[in-house]
Amino acid sequence: MDLGDVASWFEQERLGKPRVLHLAVGRLDGHRLVWNYRSPRRGAGAANVEPALHCSVPGLLLEVDDATLSGLDRKEGHPGRYLREVQACRVWSGELREAWVYRVLPAFQEQQVVAPRRGYRDLLLGAARRHGFPAEYIAKLEALQVLED
């Protein structure tokens, strides 16, 4: 969700600048945010979503060019660790759109909560505040147990 983090990663990997053609704030209904994946790159937990009735996860819907999508696939570990799949999402105006969503493959999911590093949680928290995500979501991120960087 943090576009600055994405841009830094693209630069580090010498992929050029990511190209976001359009950005919308929205939500993925019927899912919840979970911490059941240990990222080898971060050495701690990384965000995942899983189906859950009566729940939703706020997020950014990005329209990107093909080169940026390819770079995002690489960053997210698709198809090796995360699977990119089409899901119905709602932008905040209520309009329904199809969007790619990355979900951790079952073989890489852990049974217990995998705490993220403070810096990673803070990236998500900063983006949530900048984009006006719901207060309840921000409070959950603030309360999340983290590992010190």
Q: What is the pLDDT of residues 56-97, one digit of tens each?
A: 999 999 999 999 999 999 999 999 999 999 999 999 889 999
Q: What is the pLDDT of residues 16-70, one digit of tens each?
A: 999 999 999 999 999 999 999 999 989 999 999 999 999 999 999 999 999 999 9
* Cα–Cα separations (whole angstroms), residue 137 to 27, 43, 55, 124, 149: 11, 24, 11, 11, 23
Could you tell me if 100 and 88 are in contact, meaning their C-beta atoms sit under 8 angstroms apart?
Answer: no
User: Which long-range contacts (C-beta less than 8 Å, at least 24 apart) are formed by 6-12?
Assistant: 6/72, 6/75, 9/75, 10/68, 10/71, 10/75
* Position 130 in a domain: no
The confidence band for 149, taking pLDDT boundaries of 50, 70 and 90, is confident
Structural domain count, the chain: 1
pTM exceeds cut of 0.75 = yes
* Position 58 in a domain: yes
For every residue of 1-40, DSSP letters joined together read: --HHHHHHHHHHTT-----EEEEEEEEEEEEEEEEEEEET
**pLDDT at residue 93, rounded to an integer:** 86
* Position 123 in a domain: no
* Position 144 in a domain: no
Bridging pattern class, strands 44-64 and 82-91:
unpaired
C-alpha 103/C-alpha 86 separation (Å) is 11
Domain that includes residue 90, residue range: 3-116
* Position 45 in a domain: yes
* Position 22 in a domain: yes
**pLDDT at residue 12, rounded to an integer:** 97
The CATH number linked to 103 is 3.10.490.10
**pLDDT at residue 45, rounded to an integer:** 98
The confidence band for 1, taking pLDDT boundaries of 50, 70 and 90, is confident
Name the DSSP class of 131: T
For every residue of 37-63, DSSP letters joined together read: EEETTTTEEEEEEEEEEEEEEEEEEEE
* Position 43 in a domain: yes
* Position 63 in a domain: yes
For 52, phi and psi rounded to 5 degrees?
A: -160, 120
